[in-house]
A and B are shown apart, each in its own frame.
Chain A
Amino acid sequence: MAFLDIRTLRKAYGSAIALDGVDLSINEGEFVTLLGPSGSGKTTLLMSIAGFTRPDSGTILLDGADITGVDPEDRNFGLVFQGYALFPHLSVANNIAFPLRVRNWDKARIAARVDEVMKLVGLDKLAARKPRELSGGQQQRVAIGRALAFGPKILLLDEPLSALDRKLRDTMQRELKRLHQETGVTFVFVTHDQEEAYAMSDRIAVFQNGNIVQIGSPREIYRAPASRFVAGFLGGNNILSAQTDGAQLDLFGIRMPMPAAYDRTRHGDGAITVWVRPEDITLGDVAPGAVSFSVTVADVSFVGTSERVTVITADGQELSVLAPSAIARELTPGSAASCALLPSAIGFLARE
């Protein structure tokens, strides 16, 4: 049995359904990310686990015990908010000591634990500061330290990094991963940012319309999206229409041998939907075994490490390609170019 077991959880706000019978099992010590667009139910699920949202039906089991009706103050789960919600009248040390004082620990034990936590989150020199005297990243560390101080069974994080700038976000992602490994606490992390989810999670649960549509490791989710929504939500994927008779694939009017990933009963035949990652398409050069096709360049935009080139295929489909700057710089909108891809890079979507 899993550590935290969520069974057919439902919650509606008037006619809006936030959770539509969600099932989710989380193992002890796991880092699970709830990923989805805003309004997909991920925060409602997190707040139900925290105890602040009462589900209309369904149960939440912790170690086999039903905690659905337990008050949040009795659950012993740490919670980190997007805006940190630090106590403005208390110093860093007293913020961290708050959950310990509430639990009536004796003074010496509190002092020792506060010291330990401040070292853990890297704040040992700022003990006497008030929250308003700290930077966003430091406030974030206090919030995490405070939520970990009392040794929670689970740490719940509600988009804690979304207010930070990119560089700080990368640092905090590594910090969270380190804290997760050092403490061994189960982390449940909510975000709408897929890169954040990939960087930290053991498993990702993708939310759509109040339901988990796919759950798996970052690589599984990226490499084998279960639906058109998951394939499109992650990584600016190319969702394309193709034709097949079951033996050969016809994509952009090019016929090619059927890739091994194809399964006729799951993916169907006739007009089907496939996806190709932008980084799996090459411009110009053709690798052995790759199929090449001609395209018209529509747009070239610089994205830092490479260029994102939008091209139009012979059958009028729009395709996004990630190409090295050295090649993409030569292209101008309207010019003709040649693209290539390995048939094995083509993914198939189940018939919906």
Chain B
Amino acid sequence: MSPRLRRIGERWLPWTLAWLLLAFLFVPVLVVVPVALTAKDYLSLPTTGISFQHFASLADWRAGWLPSILTSLGIALASSIAATGVSAAFAIGAWVYAGRWPSTLRIILLSPLIVPPIIYAVGMVRLWSKLSLLDSWLGVTIVHVILAMPLAVLAIGASLSNLDPRLVQAARSLGARPPTVFGRVILPNILPGTIAGAILAFIVSWDEITVTLFITSRRLVTLPRKIWTSIADAVDPALAAIATVMLVVTIVCLLLRMTVWERLAQRRS
């Protein structure tokens, strides 16, 4: 093999493949940006002109996008806080009292990851109709908490697994009561994992569509549900506009995280 060919094989080929793969992951997402700018009132590429009317309609309360964004935001925040709290309590308890019960409970808690959401949804419809929780804030939030808990438990459990359980005994022997042990010893050590768990829980709730479709109808419209119905009913380009907004918000969050991370790393060293 000639040195030139070899250089192409060793350097350019993997490089090109990697970028192609990245493009494959990202380009379909980017398609929503031009579509959002179309001047027509159906999903299409902006061939006849660019317009921001679909972004404007997002801000229009009566179009239903803004209320559903706020609904999803509220449910996702509540679910995230509740799921993180319950998961942290469970994970810390299981960490302190290792044994048969914690590991059995852990499997039960992780089961929403294993059971297909559609089957879960069918079960929840029956249960919630008996308890009159269908189409209610509480009903959706409880379901989202249950669905988000496995990820939060895994994230918090992972950060606890690096922690020596005897720290609890050490702190107590030094005179710390349980609340102090939690606040000054356990929490500072598992904070990164807990924040990761809270973010994952938020995302699970923010994205959830399968079970939500079954247990809500007219009163409670989350953003994924709104997107779903707008695809089913009409091909409203506002859909692409909301996707673009979410894309931008995500990228901004990622950039923010990276800079904050770098600054933290600098301060630490």
Contact = CB atoms under 8 A, between A and B. Distances in A.
- Chain B residues touching A, range: 10 to 19
Given A83-B164, A85-B164, A87-B185, A73 B175 contact: yes
A77 B180 contact: no
Interface stretch (A98-106, A195-203, A292-300): A98-106
B184 interface: yes
Interface in A32-88: 50-52, 71-79, 81, 83, 85-88
Given A98-B184, A102-B180, A85 B174 contact: no
Interface in A288-336: none
Contacts of B164: 83, 85
A275 interface: no
B175 A76 contact: yes
Interface stretch (B54-62, B67-75, B165-173): B165-173
Interface in B145-184: 163-164, 166-167, 169-177, 180, 184
B174 A150 contact: yes
Contacts of B176: 73, 98-99, 102
Nearest to B178: A73
Interface string B175-197: 11100100011001100000000
Contacts of B174: 73, 78, 98-99, 102, 146-147, 150
Chain B interface, >50% SS class: helix
A50 B175 CA distance: 12
Interface centre among B164, B167, B172, B175, by most chain A C-beta atoms within 10 angstroms, is B175
B170 A85 contact: yes
A102 B175 contact: yes
B27 to A, nearest CB: 43
Contacts of A88: 163, 189
A76 B189 CA distance: 25
Interface string A93-116: 000001101110000000000000
A72 B169 contact: yes
Nearest to B180: A102
Interface string B187-218: 01100000000000000000000000000000
Interface string B25-65: 00000000000000000000000000000000000000000
B173 A73 contact: yes
Contacts of B189: 87-89
A293 B154 CA distance: 71
A79 B169 contact: yes
A73 B175 CA distance: 4
Contacts of A87: 167, 170-171, 185, 189
Contacts of A71: 172
B167 to A, nearest CB: 5
Contacts of B188: 89
B180 A52 contact: no
Nearest to B177: A73
Contacts of A103: 175
Interface in B226-247: none
Contacts of A76: 175
Contacts of B170: 79, 81, 85-87
Contact of A73 (B172, B184, B185): B172
A156 B169 CA distance: 13
Contact of B173 (A83, A89, A147): A147
B124 to A, nearest CB: 40
A150 B176 CA distance: 12
Contacts of B180: 102
A83 B173 CA distance: 15
Given A72-B169, A76-B175, A102-B184, 4 more contacts: A52-B173, A78-B173, A87-B185, A88-B163
30 contacts: A50-B173, A51-B173, A71-B172, A72-B169, A73-B172, A73-B173, A73-B174, A73-B175, A73-B177, A74-B175, A76-B175, A78-B173, A78-B174, A79-B170, A79-B173, A81-B170, A83-B164, A86-B170, A87-B170, A87-B189, A88-B189, A89-B188, A98-B174, A98-B184, A99-B174, A102-B175, A102-B176, A102-B180, A150-B175, A156-B173
Interface of B: 163-164, 166-167, 169-177, 180, 184-185, 188-189
User: What 5 pairs across the A-B complex have the smallest Cβ distances?
Assistant: A79-B173, A99-B174, A85-B170, A85-B166, A89-B188
